[in-house]
Structure 1
Amino acid sequence: MLKPPYPIETPRLLLRPFAPGDLDDLHSFRSLPEVTRYLYWEPHSREETRAVLEEKIGGSELRQEGRALSVAAELRESGALIGDLSLFWRSREHRQGEIGFVFHPGHQGRGLATEAAREILRLGFDGLGLHRIFGRCDARNTASARLMERLGMRREAHLVENELFKGEWGDELIYAMLRREWSERASG
């Protein structure tokens, strides 16, 4: 089980549970075609965002395998919600997790997603005791691939035309990090 010590403070962000007042900020980026281009869902209507937010509010703790921890990334200087991070507990037996992240495009290119995602890795390794955390992205999503590389995750696979994605065959990249690699990076 993982119950993060909220809020988690980074130099520029507060990572916290989602709250009902996050609807406008969350919708401001989940409704954008450029945000959903490489994701499994299309731009959300306000009602779809409201339903997603309700799910995320219930995901502030990670109690069992097969569930996800949902964390909001808020700018400390303004209080604006700019990111949506997830840690999926994929296997208790094999101590496997998966990281996911979606950020407002107006706040990209400044290292904020890296700052936040590093804390999600820390929660997975140090808080949940995972052995391996992986991340996946469409091979055309160079921004997500670069983020995982900046985190120190290694590219393990390039799956060719492995999924029918939004009407066309798409490639997928898989990145991963082991607990010992995390520890080496944290101590070095």
Structure 2
Amino acid sequence: MSSTAAPFPARMELTGDGLVLRDWTEQDLAAMPELFDHPDIAYWTPIVSPFDEKAARVRLDRARQLRAEGTTILLAITTDGGAPLGEVMLRRAPEGTEIGYAVGPAHRGQGLAARAVRRMAAYAFEELGVERVILEVEAENASSVAVAAKTGFRLLDVPLIQGQEKGRPFVLQTWGLDRP
């Protein structure tokens, strides 16, 4: 964490747009494989695959560690504070304040990703004082491109990010949303 970055709160709950974004808890461990053990999640995200209960424990512990380090917030996407439907992330990175998300296959088509991105962006602008948030998206990931466009992000004229994850090459575009 940089010396100028404010620490993240130990506990978080963000509400708005019909969502409650909340901390992951021990009670969520059993539900996490149903959300994250899916070919789409394995292909488009860095989330480990296969994703089982052991992976859920590792992810919960890592989420807590990253929050304490002040680099990343991982919150469960819910509509009422109850059952998790997906995850939204905010990460402080050298290239900018990045938002990411994954919605469980059974919960897609409800606008959860777009609403979670809007709420997390509002948090970044209002509470963290950032000037821009970014999404890093593969152009072929039509669902994520649609989320970026729907939430007001614009494709930035910056170099593509190329790499390899889980044995496959990827090329990410950077989309930006400036502080209102």
**What range is the shorter-chain TM-score in?**
0.7 to 0.9
Tell me the secondary structure at the aligned position of residue 85 of structure 2.
Answer: strand
Query: Does structure 1 conserve the Cα–Cα contact (< 8 Å) formed by 2:160 and 2:174?
Result: no
Tell me which amino acid in the other structure corresponds to 1:48: A
> Cα offset for 1:90?
1.9
> Cα offset for 1:43?
2.7
Point out the more displaced range, 145-154 or 38-47: 38-47
Query: Does structure 1 conserve the Cα–Cα contact (< 8 Å) formed by 2:21 and 2:76?
Result: yes
Task: Show the counterpart of 2:3.
Answer: none
Percent identical pairs in the alignment equals 21
Aligned-residue RMSD, C-alpha: 2.6
* Per-residue Cα deviation, 1:31-64 (whole angstroms, up to 9, x for no partner): 11222211234332221121101222445x5764
> Cα offset for 1:5?
7.9
Task: Show the counterpart of 1:72.
Answer: 76
Taking structure 2 as the reference length, what is the TM-score of the superposition?
Answer: 0.83
Gaps of 5+ in 1: 184-188
> Cα offset for 1:162?
2.4
Aligned length: 173
After superposition, residues 11-160 of structure 1 pair within 5 angstroms as 11-40=17-46, 41-59=48-66, 64=70, 67-76=71-80, 79-91=82-94, 96-157=96-157
Query: Does structure 1 conserve the Cα–Cα contact (< 8 Å) formed by 2:17 and 2:119?
Result: no
Residues 158 and 106 (structure 1 numbering): CA distance in 2 closer, same or farther, change over 3 Å?
farther
